Amino acid sequence: MLIFLHNWPYSKLMTAMIYDGTYQGWLTAIFDSYEYKMNDVCFLKGETAAIPLFATAHYVVTDEVKARRVIKGLKLRLSAEGLNNLYKVYLSEEEKSEEMMCRFVRYVFTSKENIEQNFSNSAVWDVKKLAKKVKREAHRMEAFVRFKLTKDNLFYAIIEPDHNVLPLVAGHFKGRYADQRWLIYDAKRKYGIYYDLETLSTVELEFRLGPASAKGITEICDEREAFFQELWRKYFSSVNIKARNNMRLHIQHMPKRYWKYLPEKMPEI
């Protein structure tokens, strides 16, 4: 926590908002900060968070009504996209993103007109930029999810995105794979989204399947699964034009941290 101490200048007025880590919780914290006139705030997740030395703690009790009122106020001053960008920044889970969101929201509430296009303002630009980064990763997940078919007809995929983008992409997969049961599991955050041919649901489970192992495939997968993975790997290498090789571009588009779950980037099993 030492870093924290250095980053926060001494101020008696600083309040550490301790919230449950949910978006609603964060919105409630914003509501409270207005209600109790706390101007200088920082955000901490979870009850056991270490409170910076010079701050007073405020424990936020997540409250749907308060959260809704903040959203309502924001809706009056932001476009749907602007509001959505705020949510994306929340999903970024990047350090200091809650403070960034807070600066943005305060600017929104102090202005009469919609300020989301005022790109020369840091609060606006920072939110825009980080939201874009999250959106880019969501788009990448739409591309890099690789389903495997199990013996009981479930298509499952494992991902480990930098940001918590699963909520952003679930709708896309529901619309596309409407006639197959699927599960996308975020191994980093230990939860998945499951589609049962009707609705989406969030499932929390300890999913112990690592990246494909030969044994795993034959035990749990459909008999043709290994064949299609093999076919895909062969396809991927056949369409490459060696005379044009450009590994830099390749890695820029498909960063190595995503390779773990891509059959085409995995050695043969």
Tell whether residue 234 is a contact of another protein (CB under 8 A).
yes
Give me the least distance between CB of 113 and another protein, in Å please. 9
Kindly tell me which of 31 and 182 has the beta carbon lying closer to another protein. Answer: 182
What φ, ψ does residue 47 adopt, rounded to 5°? -70, -25
Count of residues that interact with another protein, criterion CB under 8 A = 55
Tell whether residue 88 is a contact of another protein (CB under 8 A).
no
Tell whether residue 36 is a contact of another protein (CB under 8 A).
no
Kindly tell me which of 66 and 148 has the beta carbon lying closer to another protein. Answer: 148
**Single residue of 80, 120, 152, 257 touching another protein by CB under 8 A:** 120
Residue in 262, 255, 161 with CA at minimum distance from that of residue 212: 262
Residue in 73, 71, 61, 56 with CA at minimum distance from that of residue 16: 56
**Single residue of 48, 110, 199, 246 touching another protein by CB under 8 A:** 246
Q: Which residue has the tokens 């943005």?
A: 104
Give me the least distance between CB of 25 and another protein, in Å please. 31
Tell whether residue 256 is a contact of another protein (CB under 8 A).
no
Tell whether residue 249 is a contact of another protein (CB under 8 A).
yes
Residue type, 262: L
Judged by CB under 8 A, the stretch of 50-58, 66-74, 85-93, 230-238 that binds another protein is 230-238
Tell whether residue 151 is a contact of another protein (CB under 8 A).
no
Give me the least distance between CB of 251 and another protein, in Å please. 9
| Long-range CB contacts (within 8 A, 24+) of 172-181 | 172/142, 173/142, 173/145, 174/200, 180/153, 180/155, 181/153, 181/154, 181/155
**Single residue of 11, 117, 201, 218 touching another protein by CB under 8 A:** 117
Residue in 122, 129, 84, 88 with CA at minimum distance from that of residue 106: 122
Kindly tell me which of 61 and 143 has the beta carbon lying closer to another protein. Answer: 143
Do β-strands 56-59 and 15-19 pair in parallel, antiparallel, or remain unpaired?
A: parallel
Q: What distances in angstroms separate CA 44 from CA 16, 99, 269, one per listed residue?
A: 7, 10, 44
Tell whether residue 241 is a contact of another protein (CB under 8 A).
yes
Kindly tell me which of 72 and 242 has the beta carbon lying closer to another protein. Answer: 242
